[in-house]
Structure 1
Amino acid sequence: MVIDLRDEVASVLPILDGLARADWQTPTPAVGWNVHDQVSHLAHFDHLTRLSIQSPVEFASLRDGLTDLQAYIDGIGRGNQWRDGEATTAWWRSENRELRDAATVAEPSTRVPWFGPPMSLASKLTARIVETWAHGQDVADTFGVTREPTARLAHVARIGVLAFANSFRTRGLSVPDANIRVELSAPDGFSSWSWGPEDADESVVGDAKEFCLVVTQRCHIADTALVVRGQNAQRWMTIAQAFAGQPGVGRSPNKTVPKA
């Protein structure tokens, strides 16, 4: 897990290293977020994750002192504007390295506090991989850069499937009592990943990257070739959300179509 996190970060850094000063203020496909906001967010939450591992009491104190979590998240980019692009990249490199060091020496059975229920160390690292991939995709799309899909997408896809219920609950909707089969073509071109019963009445079938783009709300389902069968599966794919917190605004059809 630590190695996959390292490699996911490494897939984004070459894009950042080539940016001019003005590029950092370029709006990304995520409404209200520029490139600087995206990278500052990743650096800050790598820092908080390390804090939750190494100093859970200190993290809990910070968390419990917040009156508005969304306002706190929205303020990260603005609060770090004093760092230029080079300093922001260096900050993220440092925070991610320290997080990986902390995770490497931590007991594998460690459960860490977070803004919701406590999480296993493995789950928390998986969440960092997912977030790094998603925000990295925003940066890549901003500059028309194509990142080759890798086996690390299995982490993103798995979280996307596990977040089925959350996708409904976060919107105040009842969770459908449905069996849905997810079958995805892996990036290697010959293997596949699947979840759910083989005889399920409903299904989502297609390319792993496209599924990951949809569940992280980086692409609208209409802009993919995913084959969705069943009413509940259709509803899910229009609101799928592989991250916690308030309902995401998602993307409009054809607004941003990431390169395949």
Structure 2
Amino acid sequence: MAANVIDDLEAEQLRLESVLSRLVPADWLAPSAAAGWTIADVALHLAQTDEAVAATVHGDGNAIEWQRLGSTVDEAMAALVAADRTDPAVVFDRWRAARRACVEALRAADPGQPVRWVTNWIKPRTLATTRLAEHWAHALDIATPLGIDYPDTMRLRHIAWLGHSTLPYAFRLTGLPTVPVFCDLTAPDGSSWQFGDPAAENVIAGDAGAFCRVGAQRLDPEASGLQTKGPYAAEALRVLRNYAAV
């Protein structure tokens, strides 16, 4: 994971802010690609979770009582959005303030001191990486249904790193053997990103954007065009997620 992940998180937030700033009122109330949520709901979710980042980095625990709101994190997030809906202009202003507070908190945090996030303890730079993954995925949820171009950038390297790094966690969650996986991915500029041991028996190869989308559950593995080799490579691709755990 590159040292400038917080800078790249801020850059991704700025790109999303540029998209949101151009929306007309009807766009905000249009369905997003996140099931059951409007565009405004997606922005509200990002505001709520960016606020939670600042709170947890500053020592206020999880900031959001996840378990009180639902039996799963997804249920909790849906309940939080449903309880907090308001005018889209208010949502936009709230997110802009929250995303700045999030970045400021991450920059000021002790890089060696883990913080609590959802059910895990992770270091601030890993948390920044999960926030980058979250903003990128939800930006797709906003841009795609509105027909707005949102091309892949080299910032995806952080997200690809996260997906590969959390494969052991994904294996454990699903009861699969924790086996080494080598990823040979093609970056947006055509260069190669490699993660893991090249001698590993299990290999995933192909487009980095597709790999990140599979990890974000925005693309079915079978439709990704990614190639797998080895006894557990296809299973690794199936359980791949951009988890907030390393």
Measured against the shorter chain, the TM-score band is: 0.7 to 0.9
1:180 equivalenced with 2:181 (yes/no)? yes
Q: Residue 167 of structure 1 contacts residue 242 of structure 1 at CA under 8 Å; is this kept in 2?
A: no
Gaps of 5+ in 1: 246-260
Does 2:133 align with 1:130? yes
Partner of residue 61 from structure 2, selected from 59, 62, 68: 59
Measure, in 1, the Cα distance between the counterparts of 2:13 and 2:224.
26
Of 66, 71, 77, 2:81 maps to 77
**Alignment correspondent of 2:8:** 4
Measured in 2, the distance between the counterparts of 1:223 and 1:60 equals 36
Counterpart CA distance in 2 for 1:87 and 1:61 is 21
What is the CA–CA distance in structure 2 between the aligned matches of 1:201 and 1:233, rounded to whole Å? 8
Identity percentage of aligned residues? 28
Q: Is 1:86 paired with 2:89?
A: yes
* Secondary structure in structure 1 of the residue aligned to 2:32: coil
Query: For 1:107-256, what aligned pairs fall within 5 Å after superposition?
Result: 107-170=110-173, 173-189=174-190, 191-243=191-243
Number of residues of Structure 1 aligned to a counterpart in Structure 2: 239
Q: Contact 2:106 / 2:125 at 8 angstroms: preserved in 1? A: no
Deviation at 1:99, TM superposition (A): 1.5
How far off is 1:67 after superposition? Answer: 5.9
Name which of structure 1's ranges 211-220 and 158-167 shifts more when overlaid on structure 2: 158-167
Structure 1 window deviating more from structure 2 (176-185 vs 153-162): it is 176-185
Q: Which amino acid aligns with 1:108?
A: P
Q: Spell out, residue by residue over 1:151-193, the C-alpha distance to the aligned partner (whole angstroms, 9 max, x if none).
A: 21011101111221333444xx31224332100111222x211
Contact 2:52 2:62 (C-alpha < 8 Å) held by counterparts? no
Cα gap change, 1:102 to 1:178, in 2 (>3 Å): closer
Per the alignment, do residues 85 and 64 of structure 1 end up closer, same or farther by CA in structure 2, a change over 3 Å counting?
Answer: closer
Helix, strand or coil at the partner of 2:177: coil
Q: Distance in 1 between matches of 2:49 and 2:116?
A: 13
For residues 218 and 65 of structure 1, do their structure 2 counterparts lie closer, same or farther at Cα, with a shift above 3 Å needed?
A: closer
Structure 2 distance, partners of 1:126, 1:15, is 21
Contact 2:69 2:79 in 1 (8 A): no
Q: Runs of 5+ in structure 2 lacking a partner?
A: none
Contact 1:24 1:36 in 2 (8 A): yes
2:181–2:200 Cα contact (<8 Å) kept = yes
SS at match of 2:217: coil
SS at match of 2:185: strand
CA contact (8 A) 1:165 1:175 kept: no
Q: Which residue does 1:32 correspond to in 2?
A: 36
Check the 8 A contact 2:205/2:228 in 1, yes or no.
Answer: yes
> 1:25 Cα shift?
2.5
Amino acid at match of 1:129: L
In the aligned structure 2, how far is the partner of 1:128 from the partner of 1:241? 14
Task: Give me the TM-score of the superposition, normalised by structure 2.
Answer: 0.88
Cα deviation for residue 136 of structure 1 reads 1.0
